[in-house]
Amino acid sequence: MINKLRSTIRGPYTLVGRIPPSLGNLSSLETLSLAYNHLEGNIPHVLGVNSFRGQIPLTLRIGLNKFQQLIMDYNNLGSGQNSLQGSIPDSVGKLENLARLNLQQNKLSSNIPSVIGNLIMLSEVYRGINKLEGSLPFTLRYCTMMQKFVVDTSYLSGNIPNNTFGYQKGLITLDLSINVLTGFVPLDFGNLKQLSILYLHTNNLFGEVSLELSACYALTDFWLTRNFFHGSILSFLGSLRNLEILDFSINNFSNTIGGPLFELENLTFLNYLNFCFNHLYGEVPIGGIFRNITEISLIGNEDFCGGIPQLNLPPSSELLSHKHKSSFKVTVIIVISGVSASFVVFICICYLRKKPKILFSSPSLEHRYLKVSYGELHQATDGFSTSNLVDTRSFGSVYKGTLLVQFERRIAVKVLNLQPLLLNGTYLSSN
């Protein structure tokens, strides 16, 4: 009764030859695992599963409603001649009861089809180490039974879609590492209360680490290395009590490692911590994981101090003294600059106050010579009135007056006496 066979599992590297078409008669087949063997040729189309070599069939004739697992991984071994290639056809979406899909380590290319959203019973996806490209389909939100989603070491690009993985509240493993994904980590990752493994390393992700991740209390492995994250390494990491591996290396984090991060000393399960090649500074704790130099990596940062002696960091007091002196120098420079600026402003004000209010515009005024007519002088002195007479001497008289030429100006006019003067019987000329 071969058609009643529910599963067939053989040991690795024991099967050879081709798959017989008669397997298509197994109407109750639920699991078919052919991984780690030496099978060759095409899988019969009556199974409608895949092929070891060439492209995946565009049509599926499987018709097995109970078919739950499709495992065709690790065909890209050795020479790679027996690798699955081409795109994943939309016909995969017809396997409505499929719970596990493993196409890992082949040469599959093109996009992850959006019809994956039809597989509402899907709980495990392994498509890593392929040549998949394009963006992650937002239809993944309909796979609410998902527990493990692993699509690493491919060419996936674009943003991690919002409101997608957040619907998979039972997700335990999410591995999107070694792709070319960009953008921010979606805020709805905070819904993943069961998430244990989060691999986002080696992408082009950026922004700050979302505070919403503080709700992922089950995290054990948290990898963000080789991205462009910046800002603070947040204090909520100390509340992730199950953390075993924490790798934030090769990013642009730039705050102090001290302060709230001293709580990392209390993470009893933490056995690997890597903050190297960021812009961190401050005092390194000495308790917890920080006691073992083989479990931490802090190189490539700025101005670390303290820590265990094996780290060869300067004492905390030296760094604090250095920073205090630097701060004092900056303060002195600021004060001196302020005083200098005030002095310059004061000099400018004094100069402006002493500067004449009247600007001479005509050439005669610029050289302090004023050319006026007799009539203007006559008017200025009120006709050389005696009321304006200031002084009378033998050589002439001096009159005061107000000259109205371009502006009002007080003047003194000397009028010479041109009559001949008699001195000792001799007439003298005024010339």
Q: Give 134-159 pLDDT, tens digit per residue.
A: 999 999 999 999 999 999 999 999 99
Closest-CA residue to 216 (of 263, 169, 163)? 169
Q: Give 112-135 pLDDT, tens digit per residue.
A: 889 999 999 999 998 877 888 899
Q: At CA 191, angle to CA 187 and CA 192, rounded to 5?
A: 110
Distance in angstroms (rounded) separating the CA atoms of residues 67 and 79: 31
Helix, strand or coil for residue 408? strand
Output the pLDDT for position 398.
81
Per the listing, tokens 């004000």 go with 349
Q: Is 38 left (phi over 0), alpha (psi -120 to 50) or beta?
A: alpha
Give the residue with greater pLDDT, 127 vs 248: 248
Half-sphere exposure of 236 (CA within 13 A, CB side): 12
Residue 296 has pLDDT above 60, yes or no: yes
Cβ density class 147-160: b for 16+ within 10 Å, e for less: bbbbbbbbebeeeb
What DSSP element (H or E) covers 366?
helix 363-366
Q: Which two tokens stand for residue 14?
A: 């024991």
Q: Give 375-402 pLDDT, tens digit per residue.
A: 777 787 877 787 778 777 766 778 788 8
Output the pLDDT for position 66.
61
Mean pLDDT, rounded, for 326-347: 55
Residue 340: other Cβ atoms inside 10 A? 10
Mean pLDDT, rounded, for 4-9: 45
CATH architecture of 2-314: Alpha-Beta Horseshoe (3.80)
Mean pLDDT of the chain: 75
Output the pLDDT for position 346.
61
Decide the pairing of beta strands 389-393 and 396-405.
Answer: antiparallel
Output the pLDDT for position 288.
92
Output the pLDDT for position 281.
87
Mean pLDDT, rounded, for 51-74: 54
Q: Does residue 30 contact residue 3 with C-beta atoms inside 8 Å?
A: no
Decide the pairing of beta strands 396-405 and 304-306.
Answer: unpaired
The maximal CA–CA distance of the chain, rounded, in angstroms, is 171
Distance in angstroms (rounded) separating the CA atoms of residues 269 and 57: 47
Q: Does residue 74 contact residue 87 with C-beta atoms inside 8 Å?
A: no
Domain residue limits, the chain: 2-314, 315-355, 363-428
Q: What is the 3-state secondary structure (H, E, C) of 132-173?
A: CEECCCHHHHHCCCCCEEECCCCEEEEECCCCCHHHCCCCCE
Percentage of the chain with pLDDT > 70? 63
Q: Which two tokens stand for residue 239?
A: 């509340």
Classify residue 76 as exposed, middle or buried by CB count within 10 Å of its CB (0-12, 13-18, 19+).
buried
Output the pLDDT for position 341.
62
Closest-CA residue to 318 (of 308, 305, 328, 331)? 305
Per the listing, tokens 């001799």 go with 426
What are the DSSP E strand ranges found in 225-266?
228-231, 245-247, 252-253
Q: Give 168-188 pLDDT, tens digit per residue.
A: 999 999 999 999 999 999 999
Please measure the distance between the N-terminal and C-terminal CA atoms of the chain and give it in whole angstroms.
155
Q: Does residue 210 contact residue 234 with C-beta atoms inside 8 Å?
A: no
Q: Give 186-216 pLDDT, tens digit per residue.
A: 999 999 999 999 999 999 999 999 889 999 9
Classify residue 52 as exposed, middle or buried by CB count within 10 Å of its CB (0-12, 13-18, 19+).
buried
**pTM of this structure:** 0.63
Residue 261 has pLDDT above 50, yes or no: yes
Give the residue with greater pLDDT, 286 vs 128: 286
